[in-house]
Chain A
Amino acid sequence: MIALLGLSLTFFSADCGGSEDDLVDEFGEVELNFQGFFGADPLVMLANEYDYEAGMDVRFQLFQFYVSEINLIAKSGEKVRLGEIELVNFENIQSEDAASKGLSFSYSNIPAGEYRAIEMGIGVSGDLNEKAPADYPVGHPLAFQGNYWSGLSSYIFTKIEGNADLNGDGDFTEKLTFHIGEKEDVPLYQTISLDYELSVSKDQSSVLPLSVDLKQVISPSSTNFLDFREVSQDHTNQASVYTLIVDNLQKNAIRVRQ
């Protein structure tokens, strides 16, 4: 009887003018995979050093950012929610092997069908940013106290930490700390959309591969980069610094991986 009902629903959908772009009442899994890069090189914390601008070198300890309201856009135009919030955290990517695997987030019960894009907010969406770590159970992406500014009632959307060798002498003596979060007069949340044709099939897992280029975040060009000789930290109090980081993370750094 249940099988017959399922059959009739399928026919009903087809009879009502549905197209092959419509999502169907079957479900698969979607895996969102982020691989980190620094330019053409895999992004590896602590173990790897990278050439930087103006004769400087750089090494990273931490790169993380929140993504919110993650949706797939079906070819029919319908939005399907993958997740409410994730922390894309490269802190434990400390080898090239780990870098090649990247960071994965899996979502089940995703309607089968054809999708054309993914959209997500970079940062913590307004509704979620009104809450605090104490509001969430252990393990939730927003439960970690270290990613929250209690004095400002805001999550820290993005963190970049590491060390710079300012003159190429091999000594990474300059510590780098860039923490970007919303302040009352500094709205920083923005939604991005990336085109990608993704087919989700019943009981199958489909991978949506993304790349994040940290070089694009802090050094989009040789004339426009964070000059660590001038600035080595920011906590969303120098507009030229946090604007560069936020704009480039949102507009240039995240791409569909080919």
Chain B
Amino acid sequence: MEKPQPPVDETISGVYDPTPFTLVAPQYLGQAIIPEDNPLTEEGIELGRRLFFDPILSVDSTQSCSSCHDPAASFSDNRQFSIGVNGDKGLRNAMPLVNLAFNPNGFFWDGRRASLEEQALDPIEDHLEMADTWENVERKLRRHPDYPQRFKAAFGIEQKPEITRDLAVKAIAQFERTLVSANAEFDKVFLRAERFPTDAEQRGKLLFFFEPSDIFDDHPGCSHCHGGQHLTDFSFRNNGLDDVEELENFEDLGRGGVNNNRFDNGKFRVPSLRNVELTAPYMHDGRFETLEEVLDHYASGGHGVLNEDANIRTFPLTEQQKLDLVVFLKTFTDTSFTQNPAFQNPFK
């Protein structure tokens, strides 16, 4: 007769005394979106940072979120398509993670997840990414020597079985909301007037921002979609990449694949251009390796597909203008963001 096992003590030691965290950002970035049921705390953010950089979330413990979202690349990975645990390529370019707390309009290139919490659920079980299951990840976290205390410190749970995917993604979302970039030369020069722009920066700015221009035609008009302090309007657009006869013929339906609206086929998130210098290659499919290639694409004016954005129109682009625009685009680089100690791997 088998001897009865003593009950396993699942109680978590440690304390729950969370410290509220105030997100510091310039007023011009607007109001951060922080869900009432997931307020920022120092303990939650630190737990989220650890989960973000910990390969424990992948099936073979080889990949973490940071494998495809490297701080040095503004939390992207400089590959056309990221490589998952099984060596498979993902389907889209890894998006940079910057100023996410201010994004009101869904996450991923197609906006299929409404919140950062929902977004963080997906990569764990995507067979092209971390290829694990949340059931397994929860088991790993519950039996880990350190995480249970950190979950308790962040969320006040008492028992290890209370460690769930919902709390894990809340913590990751908290960390991601702290990823604020607002100290680029663009901020210093054009938003805070801490110094005068160089001639090239000023020329590039006049090419980028449409509104102050008195030029009637032939303007790049980047700011139609990438205007404002976030350098995006957070919309989804067909930016003229692909020439298709019918809207159903896009290889990647993008936004239309989410909402089943054919007029949204081929539309993708307008990404923020903050740190764009560091996030090559570009577009949802990483088809352009350089900023110059991106500018050449936009100057070509698209293909005239039915739902192609009306602001995609041809414009002349001299080599000097291209240089000036690239100089201006590089003012969006914020190394105090990419090198911020609070955003780095805590396991190194």
Q: Which residues of A contact B (CB under 8 A)?
A: 45-47, 61-62, 94, 132-139, 143-146, 148-152, 161-163, 171-173, 175-177, 181, 233-235, 237-238
- B147 CB-CB contact with A under 8 Å: no
* Cα(A45)–Cα(B307), bound, Å: 10
Cβ-defined contact, B33 with A146, below 8 A? no
Q: Are A134 and B235 within 8 A (Cβ)?
A: no
Q: Which of B104, B229, B312 contacts A175 (CB 8 A)?
A: B312
- Which of A94, A135, A171, A237 lies in contact with B261, CB distance below 8 A? A94
Q: Shortest beta-carbon distance, B130 to chain A, in Å? A: 30
Contact B233 A143 (CB under 8 A): no
Residues of B within 8 A of A62 (CB): 310
Q: Mark B196-223, 1 if CB is under 8 A from A, else 0.
A: 0000000000000111111111000001
Verify A137–B31 contact, CB threshold 8 A.
yes
From A153, which residue of chain B is reached at the shortest CB distance?
Answer: B211
Interface residues, chain B, with chain A CB atoms under 8 Å away: 27-31, 33, 104, 209-217, 223-225, 227-230, 232-235, 261, 263, 304, 306-307, 309-313
Interface centre among A47, A94, A146, A162, by most chain B C-beta atoms within 10 angstroms, is A146
Select one of B216, B225, B306, B313 contacting A238, CB under 8 A. Answer: B216
Q: A233 contacts B232, CB within 8 Å?
A: no
Whether A233 pairs with B235 at a CB distance below 8 angstroms is no
Point out the residues of chain B lying under 8 angstroms from A181, CB to CB: 211
A148: chain B residues at CB < 8 Å are 227-228
Query: Which residue of A has the minimal Cβ distance to B209?
Result: A151
Give the top 6 A-B pairs by smallest Cβ distance, nearest first.
A146-B233, A149-B211, A134-B30, A145-B228, A161-B310, A138-B104
Query: Please, how many angstroms separate the alpha-carbon atoms of A137 and B30 in the complex?
Result: 8
Q: Which of B212, B235, B304, B309 contacts A152 (CB 8 A)?
A: B212
In Å, the complex CA distance between A58 and B332 comes to 38
In the bound complex, residues from chain A placing their C-beta under 8 Å from that of B312 are 175
Contact check: which of B209, B263, B304, B311 meets A177 at CB < 8 Å? B311
CA separation between A190 and B31, bound complex, in Å? 30
Interface SS of chain B: helix, strand, loop or mixed? loop
Say whether A46 contacts B233, CB under 8 Å.
Answer: no
Given A62-B310, A138-B31, A146-B233, also A133-B104 (CB < 8 A): no
> Complex formed: what's the CA distance from A216 to B213 in Å?
28
Query: A61 to B307, Cβ gap below 8 A?
Result: yes
Shortest C-beta distance, A189 to chain B (Å), equals 17
In the bound assembly, the distance between CA atoms of A46 and B224 in angstroms comes to 20
Contact in complex: A175, B310 (CB < 8 Å)? yes
Listed A/B pairs (25) with beta-carbon separation below 8 Å = A46-B307, A62-B310, A94-B261, A134-B229, A136-B31, A138-B31, A138-B33, A145-B229, A145-B234, A146-B225, A146-B228, A146-B234, A148-B228, A152-B211, A152-B212, A161-B309, A171-B304, A175-B310, A176-B310, A177-B224, A177-B311, A181-B211, A233-B216, A233-B217, A237-B213
A133 CA / B311 CA spacing, docked (Å): 21
Partner of A235, one of B211, B225, B261: B211
CB-CB under 8 A from B309, the residues of chain A are 61, 161
- A134→B227 CA distance, assembly (Å): 13
Say yes or no: A237-B263 contact (C-beta < 8 A), given A138-B31, A144-B233, A151-B209.
Answer: no
Q: How far is the CA of A150 from the CA of B210 in the complex (A)?
A: 10
**Across-interface contacts of A136 in B (CB, < 8 A):** 30-31
Nearest neighbor of A145 in chain B, beta-carbon distance: B228
C-alpha gap A230/B229 in the complex (Å): 34
Chain B nearest CB, measured from A240 CB (Å) = 12
Flag if B313 contacts A175 (CB, 8 Å): yes
Contacts of B210 in A (CB 8 A): 235
Supplied contacts A143-B104, A145-B233, A175-B313, 17 more A-B pairs, CB within 8 Å: A61-B307, A132-B28, A134-B31, A135-B30, A136-B30, A143-B30, A145-B230, A150-B229, A151-B212, A163-B304, A175-B310, A177-B310, A177-B311, A177-B313, A233-B313, A237-B215, A237-B216
- CB nearest to B26 among chain A residues: A134
Q: Bound state CA distance, A137 and B32, in angstroms?
A: 9
